[in-house]
């Protein structure tokens, strides 16, 4: 398994958290360092890189900077210990603020609205007792990133169902006898469509007929999250569920795409999931223990391999 | 009663016995032409799905993923005796997956042929993802296959159904889901030249 970083790490480097964490882990694997694996590049990490470059790589001018194709990363890669590749830790004890920082360092700074959206989403995940596997959280966030075009906010389907099979206006009557003219086009992080799906999810989320009578409620962030969480765990969209692809020692982020759609862009979303899983684990590790197993990083940045 | 109806009737009678023996369900007698006609005017019943499956016999993998309380099939007319049947296997989040069959009722025995749909730059598929949209062209339909629920990438393919196999006659493609600004109207995606 080849080890690589996507961008430079160290003094003056790009320092993407997933790259930094990988370097920190590999440096620790040499036995000469005891860095906190937090994905954040600081003085101790720079010094450790410099020391490694001097004593192992034998650079004439150690500069504390590791480039993606340089000698330092090649040497460091030999310290890959091939630890376990997947584990189903929970999201308990995660620090949301740290995740938001790492996410923006990894990708790019979010607008205020999108940052708020992501902040709410991560809060929902952390407090969702049904999310018993950190990789489910990673895949849900990756799916949301893709399905909302990186906004991390619930969206309305373009065209609102116009000329789609589910786009016909339906008149429904609430408990007070009032009529509502509704169209059950796609709404949410992961879009809910069709009248019977609105009705069914509403009942399963113990909301009576609320979503059926008032479909725009699915644009509410909390409800959109509940729809996504329940739907992806129970196979409400395609009859395939998270558990089928991500469970115990199995972690198939590529085929997990079938929970929502076909396999178009499955690799892209899987890549997001791998990165986000690492970011989530970094938040847990700093909270729990410096010595927590961190196999996902050293193996491949890919639970999907 | 014409010969076709007689054969269909015989099939149904046999099938009814089969179901009774299994003790599962008792199929109502039905007529394929009624199922087709009902579909063409948008009046299909959910109960007709099981009846149609007796004739088309699509795979279990398609049936197991279909959970909607609808008929989940649509007929497209090619001629008086030839139709394309779209069997929906799942409605998905914002688009479904379907199988397609050519149903020929011109002879005394109904002929069913599974269809593969050509896909630009890929191998033909039997499982097609996307929403089927009406086309202004006779004997054609559009499949809008979105790569994302946001609707800013995907393909809009027009298939000609008049020949022996479906052919792509028009394609709009937005392959890049990171293109900025995002274009959410498929009619504004770049048209690809089809050879």
Q: ipTM of the predicted structure?
A: 0.84
pLDDT for position B155: 96
Q: Is the pLDDT of residue B24 over 70?
A: no
The four Cα atoms A85, A91, A95, A99 give a dihedral, to 10 degrees, of 50
Lowest mean pLDDT among A72-76, A240-244, B9-13, B158-162: B9-13
CA distances from A103 to A13, A118, A145, A173, A276 (A): 17, 10, 11, 44, 8
B127 vs A contacts (CB less than 8 Å): 262
A166 contact partners, CB below 8 Å, separation of at least 6: A184, A185, A193, A194, A195, B91
pLDDT for position A165: 83
CB A106 within 8 A of CB A275: yes
The pLDDT confidence band at residue B184, using thresholds 50, 70 and 90, is very high
Nearest CA in chain A to B63: A239
Q: Do A239 and B97 touch (CB under 8 A)?
A: no
Q: Do B149 and A159 touch (CB under 8 A)?
A: no
B150 vs A contacts (CB less than 8 Å): 147-149, 155, 158
Q: Is the pLDDT of residue B12 over 50?
A: no
Lowest mean pLDDT among A20-24, A212-216, B12-16, B123-127: B12-16
A190 contact partners, CB below 8 Å, separation of at least 6: A143, A144, A147, A227, A228, A231, A232, A237, A260, B93, B149
Q: Do A260 and B145 touch (CB under 8 A)?
A: no
The pLDDT confidence band at residue A285, using thresholds 50, 70 and 90, is low
pLDDT for position B138: 79
Q: What percentage of chain B reaches a pLDDT higher than 90? A: 72
Q: Do B92 and A196 touch (CB under 8 A)?
A: no
| Higher-pLDDT residue of B25, A104 | A104
A161-172 per-position pLDDT tens digit: 988 888 999 999
DSSP characters for chain A?
Answer: -----SS-EETTS---HHHHHHHHHHHHHTTS------S---HHHHHHHHHHIIIII--SS--SEE-TTSHHHHHHHTT-----S------TT--HHHHHHHHHHHS-PPPHHHHHHHHHHHHHHHT-TT---HHHHHHHHHHHHHHTTT--S-EEPGGGGTTSTT-S-EEEE-TTS-EEEE----EETTTB-SHHHHHHHHHHTT-TTHHHH-GGGGGSHHHHHHHHHHHHHHTTTTS--HHHHEETTEE-TTGGGGGTS-STTHHHHHHHHHHHHHHHHHHHHHHS-TT---HHHHHTS-TT-
Give the sign of the dihedral formed by CA B21, CA B22, CA B27, CA B33: negative
Lowest mean pLDDT among A53-57, B25-29, B52-56, B168-172: B25-29
Q: Do B151 and A261 touch (CB under 8 A)?
A: no
The pLDDT confidence band at residue A305, using thresholds 50, 70 and 90, is very low
Question: A153 to chain B, minimum CA–CA distance in Å?
Answer: 11
Lowest mean pLDDT among A50-64, A85-99, A286-300, B137-151: A286-300
Once rounded to an integer, what is the mean pLDDT over residues A119-136?
Answer: 95
Q: Is the pLDDT of residue A107 over 90?
A: yes
Give the sign of the dihedral formed by CA A19, CA A25, CA A27, CA A29: negative
Once rounded to an integer, what is the mean pLDDT over residues B61-70?
Answer: 94
A260 vs B contacts (CB less than 8 Å): 92-93, 149
Structure-block tokens of residue B110? 């109904």
Q: Is the pLDDT of residue B23 over 80?
A: no
The pLDDT confidence band at residue A34, using thresholds 50, 70 and 90, is very high
| Helices A221-234/A195-204 angle, 10° precision | 90
The pLDDT confidence band at residue B9, using thresholds 50, 70 and 90, is very low
Q: Across all residues in chain A, what is the average pLDDT?
A: 90
Q: Is the pLDDT of residue A66 over 60?
A: yes
pLDDT for position A295: 42
Q: Is the pLDDT of residue B11 over 80?
A: no
Residues of A with a Cβ under 8 Å from any B Cβ are 146-149, 155, 157-159, 163-166, 186, 190-194, 196-197, 231, 237-240, 260-262, 264-265, 268
Question: A161 to chain B, minimum CA–CA distance in Å?
Answer: 10
Structure-block tokens of residue A43? 């003085």
The pLDDT confidence band at residue B4, using thresholds 50, 70 and 90, is very low
B141 contact partners, CB below 8 Å, separation of at least 6: B76, B132, B133, B134, B135, B158, B159, B161
Mutating which of A148, A149, A166 best tests the B interface, going by the most B Cβ atoms within 10 A? A149
The pLDDT confidence band at residue A87, using thresholds 50, 70 and 90, is low
């Amino acid at each position: 398994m080849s080890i690589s970083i996507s961008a430079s790490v160290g003094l003056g480097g790009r320092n993407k958290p997933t790259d930094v964490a990988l370097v920190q882990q590999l440096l620790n694997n040499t036995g000469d360092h005891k860095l906190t694996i937090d994905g954040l590049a600081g003085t101790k990490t720079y010094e450790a890189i410099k020391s490694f470059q001097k004593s192992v790589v034998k650079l004439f001018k150690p500069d504390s900077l590791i480039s993606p194709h340089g000698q330092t990363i090649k040497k460091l890669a030999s310290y890959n210990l091939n630890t376990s590749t997947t584990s189903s830790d929970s999201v308990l004890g995660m620090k949301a603020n740290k995740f938001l920082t790492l996410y923006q360092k990894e990708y790019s700074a979010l607008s205020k609205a999108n940052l708020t959206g992501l902040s709410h989403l991560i809060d929902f995940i952390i407090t969702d007792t049904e999310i018993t596997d950190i990789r489910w959280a990673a895949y849900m966030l990756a799916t949301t990133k893709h399905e909302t075009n990186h906004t991390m906010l619930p969206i309305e389907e373009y065209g609102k169902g116009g000329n789609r099979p589910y786009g016909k206006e339906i008149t429904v009557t609430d408990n007070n006898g009032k009529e509502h003219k509704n169209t059950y086009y796609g709404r949410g992080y992961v879009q809910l469509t069709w009248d019977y799906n609105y009705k069914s999810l509403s009942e399963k989320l113990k909301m009576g007929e609320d979503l059926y009578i008032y479909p725009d409620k699915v644009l509410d962030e909390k409800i959109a999250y509940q729809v996504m969480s329940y739907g992806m765990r129970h196979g409400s969209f395609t009859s395939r569920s998270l558990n089928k692809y991500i469970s115990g020692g199995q972690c198939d982020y590529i085929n997990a795409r079938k929970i929502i759609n076909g396999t178009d862009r499955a690799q892209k979303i899987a890549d997001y999931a791998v990165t986000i899983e690492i970011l989530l684990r970094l938040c847990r590790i700093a909270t729990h223990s410096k010595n927590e197993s961190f196999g996902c990083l050293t193996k491949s940045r890919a639970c999907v391999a | 009663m014409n010969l076709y109806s007689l054969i269909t009737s015989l099939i149904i009678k046999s099938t009814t016995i089969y179901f009774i023996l299994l003790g599962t369900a008792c199929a109502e007698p039905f007529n394929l032409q009624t199922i087709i006609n009902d579909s063409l005017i948008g009046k299909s019943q959910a109960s007709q799905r099981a009846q149609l499956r007796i004739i088309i016999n699509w795979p279990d993998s398609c049936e197991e993923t279909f959970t909607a309380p609808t008929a989940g099939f649509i007929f497209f007319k090619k001629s008086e005796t030839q139709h394309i049947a779209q069997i929906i296997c799942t409605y998905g989040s914002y688009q479904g997956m379907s199988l397609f069959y050519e149903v020929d009722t011109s002879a005394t025995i109904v002929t069913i042929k599974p269809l593969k749909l050509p896909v630009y730059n890929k191998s033909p598929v039997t499982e097609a993802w996307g929403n089927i949209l009406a086309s202004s062209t006779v004997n054609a339909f559009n499949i809008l296959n979105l790569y994302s629920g946001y609707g800013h990438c995907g393909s809009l393919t027009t298939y000609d159904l008049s020949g022996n196999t479906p052919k792509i006659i028009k394609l709009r493609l937005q392959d890049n889901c990171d293109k900025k600004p995002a274009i959410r109207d498929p009619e504004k995606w770049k048209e690809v030249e089809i050879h």
